[in-house]
Amino acid sequence: MPHLAVEKLSSAYAQQQVLRDITLSVERGEVISLIGPSGSGKSTLLRTLVGLMPPTAGRVVLDDEPLDYSSRKSVRAARDKMAIVFQQYNLFQNMDVLRNVTIAPIKIKRLVGCGLPSRPPPSVRIVGFLFNQPAPEHLVDAAFDRGAGSGI
């Protein structure tokens, strides 16, 4: 059984059908990429999977457990196992990269001292960040330019 199974998933914004009969499976440890032109539904698929947008049809199974998007408990349990980073990211200028990455688990899940990294993992070299450095200024500036700094 796959770690994540999506079967005939559909989703819509009001009357506009965005996803239609999406089927995919992801094995534990597998890395996949969603590739497509702007407006093709990549972000909508991710938003639907984490319960930010309700599916209009289909089924999602995560760790052998079907997700019930009408149940807050089921959606909350799924969000404990998956997350998305929005294209309009917000970085806190007064925090280093490590603090920016770990603030949500600490503040929302209260996971202080529960295995959150105090040092960067080896994989961080892939993206070229050093966790003890300030948040990259161009990323903070880009987030601010998009309205993050004004609360929009």
Q: Is the pLDDT of residue 8 over 90?
A: yes
Q: Are residues 70 and 37 in the same domain?
A: yes
Q: Are residues 103 and 74 in the same domain?
A: no
Predicted model pTM? 0.62
Q: Please report which confidence band the pLDDT of residue 151 belongs to, taking 50, 70 and 90 as the band edges.
A: very low
85-129 per-position pLDDT tens digit: 666 666 677 777 677 777 766 676 666 666 556 655 555 555 555
Rg over alpha carbons for the chain, rounded to the nearest Å, is 17
- 92 within domain boundaries: no
Q: Are residues 75 and 109 in the same domain?
A: no
- Per the structure, the complete domain to which residue 122 belongs is given by 97-150
Q: Are residues 64 and 113 in the same domain?
A: no
Query: Across-strand partners of 62?
Result: 4, 65
Q: Is the pLDDT of residue 144 over 80?
A: no
Q: Are residues 104 and 75 in the same domain?
A: no
> Which tokens sit at 70?
């009408």
More confident residue, 118 or 4: 4
Q: Are residues 70 and 123 in the same domain?
A: no
> Looking at residue 15, what is its pLDDT?
87
Q: Are residues 102 and 69 in the same domain?
A: no
What is the distance, to the nearest Å, from the Cα of residue 112 to the centroid of all Cα atoms in its chain?
Answer: 21
12-23 per-position pLDDT tens digit: 988 899 999 999
> Looking at residue 95, what is its pLDDT?
74
CATH number of domain containing 67: 3.40.50.300
Question: What's the CA gap between 94 and 53, in Å, rounded?
Answer: 32
Provide the domain count of the chain. Answer: 2
Of the residues 51, 79, 107, which one is the last residue of a structural domain? 79
> Looking at residue 147, what is its pLDDT?
39
Q: Are residues 24 and 69 in the same domain?
A: yes
Cα-Cα-Cα-Cα dihedral sign, residues 138, 143, 146, 150: negative
- 68 within domain boundaries: yes
More confident residue, 99 or 45: 45
Question: What's the CA gap between 59 and 62, in Å, rounded?
Answer: 10
Q: Are residues 50 and 102 in the same domain?
A: no
Q: Please report which confidence band the pLDDT of residue 149 belongs to, taking 50, 70 and 90 as the band edges.
A: very low
> Looking at residue 134, what is its pLDDT?
54
- 85 within domain boundaries: no
49-93 per-position pLDDT tens digit: 999 998 999 999 999 999 999 999 999 999 888 877 666 666 677
